[in-house]
Structure 1
Amino acid sequence: MTPRQNAQPAPLAAPTASDSGLFLPLRTAVVLLTALVLGLVIGGLTAFAGAHPDAVAIAGLTAAGASTGALRTLIQ
């Protein structure tokens, strides 16, 4: 048998100037947060209209999902 070498993990690279340590880029966070707010607003308006809670959830999720594509192109 040959002796095994201890596997050493590769050292972590030093952070660069462009790496700010954010979990998400700012643009992505703004798009997702705006889509969330729009989904909540549409869901709330649907609830105030007296719709069934299932319809409220579907309306809010649809509005949030549909707005992400448009917001992605609008927010640059």
Structure 2
Amino acid sequence: MRSSDHSPPPEAPSPFLTLHTALVLLTAAVIGIVVGGLTWLSGSPVAGSVLTGLVSAGGGVPVLRSLIGT
């Protein structure tokens, strides 16, 4: 056999999201759902609860990114 008959295996494509990014976004979504749900249970209107959940999830992303190691 000649070594020229063998070509290197094709490289696997890189993932769409890294594990770090997926974990940060999932944790931020859970935090947003919990905060929004607790806000709604306290008697706030639904629109205000959704807004509170979105703000807490968005604000948590930079903090979680720095807290969760790469």
TM-score range, shorter chain: 0.7 to 0.9
Count of residues in correspondence between the two structures = 61
Percent same amino acid among aligned pairs? 43
Q: What is the aligned partner in structure 1 of residue 11 from structure 2?
A: 15
Larger radius of gyration: 1
Gaps of 5+ in 1: 1-13
CA distance in 2, matches of 1:40, 1:15: 38
Q: Within 2, Cα distance between the matches of 1:49 and 1:38?
A: 17
- Does the alignment pair 1:62 with 2:52? no
Structure 2 unaligned segments of length 5 or more: list them. 1-9
What is the TM-score when the length of structure 1 is the normalising length?
0.74
As a proportion of its length, which structure holds more helix? 2
> Runs (4+) of structure 1 moved beyond 2 Å?
none
